[in-house]
A and B are shown apart, each in its own frame.
Chain A
Amino acid sequence: MPGYSDPGFDTLALHAGAAPDPTTGARAVPIHLSTSFVFESSEHAAALFNLERAGHVYSRISNPTNAVLEQRVSALEGGIGAISTASGQAALHLTIATLMGAGSHIVASTALYGGSQNLLHYTMRRFGIDTTFVRPGDIDGWRDAVRSNTKLFFGETVGNPGLDVLDIATVSDIAHEAGVPLLVDSTLTTPWLLKPLEHGADLVYHSATKFLSGHGTVIAGIVVDGGSFDWAASNARTGKFGELAEPYEGFHNMVFTDESTIGAFLLRARREGLRDFGACLSPHSAWLVLQGIETLSLRMARHMDNTAKVVEFLAGHSFVGRVGHPLLESHPSHALAQKLLPRGAGSVFSFDLLGSREQGKAFVDALQVFSHLANVGDCRSLVIHPASTTHFRMSDEALAAGGISQGTIRLSIGLEDPADLLEDLKRALRAAEKAGA
């Protein structure tokens, strides 16, 4: 019988890319822990290397378990394909390194994960790639930052940790006017809350370490190509994407945009980026992410329910100042979030205690259900103090530009009973108040 017709999100989360194993009948996705895959013949081997046939050669380039993950996330995001990577940072680096080299320029949001900001502000500059940072809501700023060598726009769906919502449609229009694609980090929202490709983004990546895997057990990343950006046309107009639209000596002078009208980025990213940089994902890690994705919609719904309760509680507490969640009308992105993120704007957010730095420490130390650690998107609730941990490399000016103060507390709301979360927060807030007495 013909297969599924127009499958929905939850069906895709369980079935995209995977069928019962034809050899063993295994229903769950097998973990293919094999570095290499046997060729049928010498001709088959040559054909695989020359992209005449599709298949697996070596797990740094592709792997059957990873391929299921790549198809599944592509399906959920509405993309044409994906490349799984060793981490979210590896996905970001792979994207940048595929599209540009020394002498290039990126326009990026100021509201980025600290590691991404570090990569762009310090590390990529060492390799000759410069970045101009723009506040995500400063639309004129995005336009004004474009240079003749700009190759990429980059932002987060909801900026970490202030939850500034990126106006994807508007920013992507500006990017496209400049002849460059928009890359979006969708880690904190996942496709269950927002599909950036549907709003004009061209490339999406995740730290799959977070909500996609969802259990705090694995480091993983993935970049999805929407197949929407016309690299050949842009290169003809601007000369910016010779890496994709002109012969590549590193692969028999292949012109990737001739090979694939829509998938040139994926071809080069896999054939060059994974091959040469090598930041591939372990198949075991890919399997753990797949396990998480199977329950993504169930978990995200609970994350959103719990977050709404915690936000309401904190917003009404006398010892709490700003609560930085778009659920609140006071948040600068409230209206945009209502439009782009009707199911919720994520469960990672920050708030400011009305107390000293010492009281902030007392608050963190008094929590019992919330775990004090450097991660988000776990099924368990988490807490951290960004200025001294995830964002410690950033200057005060850069912190302020990202909406972070010395007293900011970041929460990642998990799946526990909401009453227990509220009780834990009440106790810690009392302890913080006493610490200031």
Chain B
Amino acid sequence: MELNVHGSKTFCYTGGKPFDPAKPTAIFIHGVLNDHSVWILQTRSLAHHGWNVLAPDLPGHGRSAGDPPTSVEAASAFVLALMDAAGVDKAALVGHSFGALIALETAGQAAQRVSQLVLVGVAFPMKVSPILLEASQNDPEKAIAMVNTFSHSTLAPPPSALGPGTWLYGGTRALMRRVLASNPRVNVFYTGFKACDSYAGGAAAMPKVTAPTLFILGLQDQMTPPRAAQSLVKAAQRGTVAMVPGGHQMMLEAPDAVLAALRGFLQP
């Protein structure tokens, strides 16, 4: 479905079911140079089991218009505006990587509007190596190759999103290329990484979160290794941790484990 957020068209995948205001809502927020489709299996499952799902393409990404957020705080304002546009007062927020920081900041700013918080592949601080940051700006294809290498943990995943016969390294590369090309005005790769790198609000936001919080961390995650999430885990008022066997793109590489953690945690 399409929503008008901040005056711009925003594409939201709804998990194959129409949006129903009577149901509880879960909002899935993607990471840098990704889009809604990285959540395909988890969103379809929740949408068919009692939830409204909104998985937006962030502004200026994929099929959404508007200016891409240049900070986690700006992206958080977008999420709240998205909820307003959809008529959703309170929602569960599920974020991955950059999206996890956005979900965290949103839950810290507007704790009363967040029913549950799920942080997938999160770290704080989320510093991006200078080499990668520079490459994302000046040699995006090189940076895509680096991220792709760091984001997967195996050449032989179990049946993954999109199902049997899918080659995740190729899929992630193709998606990153597609999202980068979707915005000819702004390099959303660099913009996203810069927002992650410069975000300083995580330590302040986490203690303000009143909602139950689930950390889903990849045992083989090299981008945001589990140890890099520990300061947030300790600061969470009501935090629990689920370790899953996968790398940074765990919702694609280990979709069943991520779904099981989500389904066990997200109760309407």
A263 within 8 A of B: yes
Residue in chain B with minimal CB distance to A61: B164
The residue of chain A having its C-beta at the shortest distance from the C-beta of B162 within the complex is A263
In this assembly, does A2 line the interface, its C-beta being within 8 Å of a C-beta of chain B? yes
Question: Which of B154, B163, B171 contacts A3, CB < 8 Å?
Answer: B154
CB under 8 Å from chain B, chain A span 233-290: 252, 254, 258-263, 266-267, 270
Would you call A82 an interface residue if the criterion is a C-beta within 8 Å of the partner chain's C-beta atoms?
yes
Chain B, range 44-68, C-beta contacts under 8 Å to A = 44-45, 48, 62-63
Counting CB contacts under 8 A, is B256 at the interface?
yes
Interface presence of A26 (CB below 8 A): no
Q: From known contacts A62-B163, A74-B167, A75-B167, infer whether A54 and B41 are also in contact, taking CB-CB under 8 Å.
A: yes
Binding site for B on A (CB under 8 A): 1-7, 12, 15-19, 47, 50-56, 62-64, 66-68, 70-71, 74-75, 78-84, 226-228, 230, 232, 252, 254, 258-263, 266-267, 270
Chain A nearest CB from B174 CB (Å) reads 3
Chain B residue numbers with a CB within 8 Å of A17 are: 155-156, 167
Q: B165 touching A67 by the CB < 8 A rule? A: yes
Interchain Cβ contacts under 8 Å between A and B, 22 examples? A1-B220, A5-B149, A50-B48, A53-B41, A53-B256, A53-B259, A54-B166, A56-B164, A63-B164, A70-B164, A70-B165, A70-B167, A71-B167, A74-B166, A74-B167, A74-B170, A80-B167, A226-B174, A227-B170, A230-B178, A266-B166, A270-B165
Of the candidates A18, A79, A81, the one whose C-beta lies within 8 Å of that of B156 is A18
Most buried by B among A50, A252, A262, A263: A262
Say if the beta carbon of B116 comes within 8 Å of chain A. no
Cβ–Cβ < 8 Å partners of B16 in chain A: 51, 252, 254, 259
Given contacts A6-B145, A50-B48, A54-B41, contact A16 B162 (CB under 8 A): no
B-side residues, CB < 8 A to A, are 13, 16, 35-37, 40-41, 44-45, 48, 62-63, 145, 149, 152-156, 158-167, 169-171, 174-175, 177-179, 220, 222, 247, 255-256, 259
CB <8 Å contact, B165 and A66: yes
Chain A residues near B40: list those with CB within 8 A. 51, 259-260
Residues of B within 8 A of A55 (CB): 159, 163-164
Find out whether the CB atom of B170 lies under 8 angstroms from the CB atom of A79.
yes
Residues of B with C-beta under 8 A to A74: 165-167, 170
A-B pairs with the 8 shortest C-beta distances? A227-B174, A70-B165, A74-B167, A54-B159, A62-B164, A19-B156, A67-B164, A52-B45
Give the nearest-CB partner of A77 in chain B: B170
Across the interface, which residues of B come within 8 angstroms of A5, CB to CB? Answer: 149
Give B259's nearest chain A residue, CB to CB.
A53
With A74-B170, A226-B174, A260-B37 known to touch, is A84 a contact of B165 (CB < 8 Å)? yes
Set B13, B169, B220, B256: member contacting A75, Cβ < 8 A: B169
Q: How far is the CB of A195 from chain B (nearest CB, A)?
A: 11
Tell me, in angstroms, the Cα distance from A50 to B16 when the chains sit together: 10
- List A contacts of B259 (CB < 8 A): 53
Considering residues B41, B170, B171, which has the most beta carbons from chain A within 10 angstroms of its beta carbon?
Answer: B170
CB contacts (< 8 Å) of A56 on chain B: these are: 159, 164
Q: Nearest A residue to B16 by beta-carbon distance? A: A254
The chain B residue with its CB closest to the CB of A271 is: B163
Docked pose: A372 CA to B152 CA in angstroms: 47
Q: CA of A12 to CA of B152 in the docked complex: distance in angstroms? A: 14
Contacts of B166 in A (CB 8 A): 54, 70-71, 74, 80-81, 263, 266
